[in-house]
A and B are shown apart, each in its own frame.
Chain A
Amino acid sequence: MKVPASKLSRRNFLLAVGAGGVATAAAVANKAPQAQSKKAEAVGKGYQLTEHVRKYYDTTKV
């Protein structure tokens, strides 16, 4: 039996949507811990030797 071309393209479309959704979810999941760690670095009270501060000290040694 010959499968109509339109049906195939619809299947491909649905497959693509599914794969795209999974990829988006993975990207969000990967991003979340980064955002959290940035916030955790920012809310600390007082002076902290952060990466930002370390970079500043390095620039002064030039």
Chain B
Amino acid sequence: MARMKFLADAERCIECNGCVTACKQEHEIPWGVNRRRVVTLNDGTPGEKSISVACMHCSDAPCMAVCPVDVFYKTSEGIVLHDKDLCIGCGYCFYACPFGAPQFPQDGAFGLRGKMDKCTFCAGGPEPDFSDAEFKKYGRNRIAEGKLPACAEMCSTKALLGGDGDVIADIYRRRVTTRGKGSEVWGWGTAYGRPEKPPAQPGAKS
């Protein structure tokens, strides 16, 4: 079974924001909500690096662990999705996420948070595939259409890779071998690395 992953190649990203635009256009995302954004590290200094950031669909997703109403679920391909009908807009997932992925529409009165919105890996939500309800709440379901996320497909330099984790890791490995640098994949370990083992309790049997 394929495990869906994102991979941001900082050596290739030219900060064009094509991924951000593709995402907003594909899912008709309202103003104020950014499922994906481009972050530039050491902006303005020589050797600055840019990376495209969104929900990474973590292996051990912290948002799933902290949600008090259990809106999150994971597909068989490792895509972390959520049910907007259950979300109470508490914002715990936003504090837990290492990537700042959860977004909250703030068009309500008194700064009220709306239902959480985030990248779905273009895989829709719990509603039936291709339904109006699914599109309205979660956007287009490109995975069910036999495609991959719009951001990754739209990326002009193919800095943002999305798809089967084994395939994109292999593609990245070849790139690193060819260019001889840039083997660090930003966020990869945080999202897909093994969770740290808790410290052994004194006196506990191992």
Contact = CB atoms under 8 A, between A and B. Distances in A.
B174 interface: yes
B77 A42 contact: no
Contacts of A53: 146-148, 163
B2 interface: yes
Interface residues of A, number: 18
Contacts of A47: 2, 4, 77, 143, 163-164
Contacts of A49: 2, 164
Given A56-B163, A60-B171, A46 B147 contact: no
Interface string B31-74: 00000000000000000000000000000000000000000000
B77 A46 contact: yes
A50 B147 contact: yes
A57 B144 contact: no
Interface string A36-62: 000001111111111011001101111
B76 interface: yes
Contacts of A61: 171, 174
A57 B168 CA distance: 8
Given A47-B164, A53-B163, A60-B158, A42 B145 contact: yes
B26 interface: no
Contacts of B158: 59-60, 62
Interface of B: 2, 4, 75-77, 123, 129, 143-148, 152-153, 158, 161, 163-164, 167-168, 171, 174
Closest 5 CB pairs of A and B: A50-B146, A60-B158, A41-B146, A47-B77, A42-B145
